[in-house]
Amino acid sequence: MSEQLSFDWPARVALGREDFFVSEANARAFATVTAPDSWPEGKLAVVGPKGSGKTHLARVFAQANAAMILNAADLTPASPLPEARAVVIEDVERLSPEAEEWLFHLHNALKGRGRLLLTSDRAPARWQIALPDLASRMQATNLVTIDDPDDRLLSAVIMKQFQDRQIAPSPGLATYLAARIERSFAAAADVVDRIDRAALARSRKVNEALAREVLDNTPDAG
């Protein structure tokens, strides 16, 4: 019956500026996003893998600039153009061909009077945009990337993953895990998820002993 205790409850993610951990891996991205007056033509693309903090940075920017946040996958030709002077479009790689003209009009509407922040897991040159005018404007967007996490950032990401799940791990567990997993944001999210599920299923505390068992049961990458 204990296996039935593991549910897919959504995490309560903390996305305030004070919750964003800055290290060498993301310092340039943080500095650039939080200085929108320096963006060429008022637009910026933030590129990084899933879990790297793009959404968190977008929320930091939005809170400071009263920006509207939109998901590219939700946009349609009928979507109203925002009246806000600052707009965030998340996951631009998921923009549908039907919404390309909409983004083209938004780009032109904000040019010279507002700020446009775009997030994606790939560079603008790799966005599959068919509309030539939009493609050229997107490819000319200033770009900042979030690098693979260093040890300090990886430990912070692991700790934040636990905190977002309202878990208080034993002291030093984040550092212990950071030294034993692949240095990537995806690996951090995966190990915290597996430890959380194991703790619920086995009614165990989240500590080094449980983490060791979870890691020992990790299939070899090869």
Q: What is the pLDDT of residues 86-99, one digit of tens each?
A: 999 999 999 999 99
Token pair for 116: 């446009």
Collapsing DSSP to helix, strand or coil, 140 comes out as coil
Nearest to 117 by CA among 179, 156, 162, 69: 69
Average pLDDT score over the chain: 88
- In terms of pLDDT, which residue wins out, 108 or 16? 108
Average pLDDT in the 49-54 region?
A: 87
HSE, side-chain direction, 13 A CA sphere, residue 90:
17
Predicted confidence (pLDDT) at residue 127 exceeds the cutoff of 70: yes
- Strands 68-71 vs 43-47: parallel, antiparallel or unpaired: unpaired
Confidence of residue 3 (pLDDT cuts 50, 70, 90): very low
Average pLDDT in the 158-186 region?
A: 92
Average pLDDT in the 20-48 region?
A: 92
Mind listing the domains of the chain with CATH numbers?
26-145 (3.40.50.300), 149-216 (1.10.8.60)
